[in-house]
Amino acid sequence: MNNITIGQYVPGNSWLYKLDPRTKVVLTILSIVMIFLITSFYAMLIAFGVFILIFLSTRVSIIRLIRGLKPIIFLLTFTFILQLVYNKDGKLLYTFHMQIGLFQLLIMLGILIFYFLTKKFIKLKLIYTFLMALSIFLVLWFSRFNLLVWSNFDFDIYESGLSSATFVFIRIIMMIGITSLLTISTMSTDINNGLEWLLAPLKVIKIPVSVFSMTIALTLRFIPTLYEESKKIMNAQASRGVDFQEGKLHNKVTQIISLLIPMFVISFRRAEDLSNAMEARGYVIGAKRTKLDELKFRFLDYFCFLVSLGFLGLIIWSRFLG
């Protein structure tokens, strides 16, 4: 449960929690737009520094954000390496002289065998995997043999490749961090009310805004709930001898199916319980509803709006200037 941040509300009392939910939704959208408008590497570094300062001021645990990045670590790493390999523009920064041959292959096989035999005993499997990958890279880089060498090749790091890899890396982290701040600091009911207010003009063209906003809010709300249920099922099956980390490919497919079936059953059961609870409380699809707490903009909301619009205008002006 602690490894997921999207959809998980965490109580707090910083300035972020005092903002109107409509303000937080609009600021999230504006922030993502600004991230995609930035094209300069140094501008992205400045934006990342501003994001770090804002994040620290919200007093949200940075450990929680780091844990929330765990599901996309592979995507971040793959994207970073891809940019380094294929972007060959600019100044050459460093060249790794690599060698591959029979002895290197035997050493790498030994590392892989050691990894698969020991990873079940390691708690921090992700870090352990990166260390093993780093050890294979070091073998290709440092080991030198004069016999049975198949190929000597160079891995070049260019200035443009490193800057673009870092640029994309920071952009993805900022997007995840901004959306996480929204769901961490805002309850699902407040997100629902904020979206319904912001999308109210769509009622003119007969779009059921209330149903749409409720669907989004419930989806965000049930992401951590279903994640927790999946962990319970995996632990229950692990106690019966099922190991999701080991086994051949067809065994893993069977194990995933054994996880998906109870997950579908639990999802439909929870959806039915939720619909019964909503009907018991008088919820009618499409009917006009009153709010227990009326949303009101305060000085802090207007101030954050002005600051965000100022940053957006500065980014647009810098693009035209560049």
User: What are the angstrom distances between the C-alpha of 262 and each of 134, 247, 265, 273?
Assistant: 38, 21, 5, 16
Overall average pLDDT of the 163-186 stretch: 88
Mean pLDDT of 141-160: 81
pLDDT of residue 265: 85
If you average pLDDT over residues 132-144, what whole number do you get? 84
The pair of structure tokens assigned to 1 is 């449960």
What gap in Å lies between CA 140 and CA 228, rounded to an integer?
41
Q: What are phi and psi of 153, to 5 degrees?
A: -140, 165
Tokens of 224: 């951590």
Is the pLDDT at 132 greater than 50? The verdict is: yes
- Model-level pTM? 0.71
Q: 285-312, pLDDT tens digit by residue?
A: 766 776 667 788 899 999 999 999 999 9
State which H helix or E strand residue 37 sits in.
Answer: helix 21-37
Q: What is the mean pLDDT of residues 103-124?
A: 84
More confident residue, 223 or 280: 280
Q: Which two tokens stand for residue 121?
A: 């005993």
Q: Would you list the domain boundaries of the chain?
A: 1-187+299-322, 229-285
Average confidence score pLDDT of the chain: 81
Please tell me the predicted confidence (pLDDT) of residue 248.
Answer: 60
Per-residue pLDDT reduced to its tens digit, 22-50: 899 999 999 999 999 988 888 889 999 99
pLDDT of 5 over the 60 cut: no
Residue 233 in tokens: 């099922």
Burial of 189 (0-12, 13-18, 19+ CB in 10 A): middle
In this model, does residue 155 exceed pLDDT 90? no
**Confidence label for 2 from pLDDT (cuts 50, 70 and 90):** very low
pLDDT more than 90, % of the chain: 10
Residue 321 reports pLDDT greater than 80: no
How far is Cα 106 from Cα 119, in angstroms, rounded to an integer?
A: 20
Average pLDDT rounded to a whole number, residues 164-175 = 89
Tell me what pLDDT residue 230 has.
Answer: 81
pLDDT on residue 1? 44
pLDDT digits (tens, 9 = 90+) for 220-274: 777 777 777 887 887 777 777 666 655 565 666 677 777 788 888 888 888 888 8
First-to-last alpha carbon distance for the chain, in angstroms, is 45
Number of H helices, E strands in the chain: 12, 2
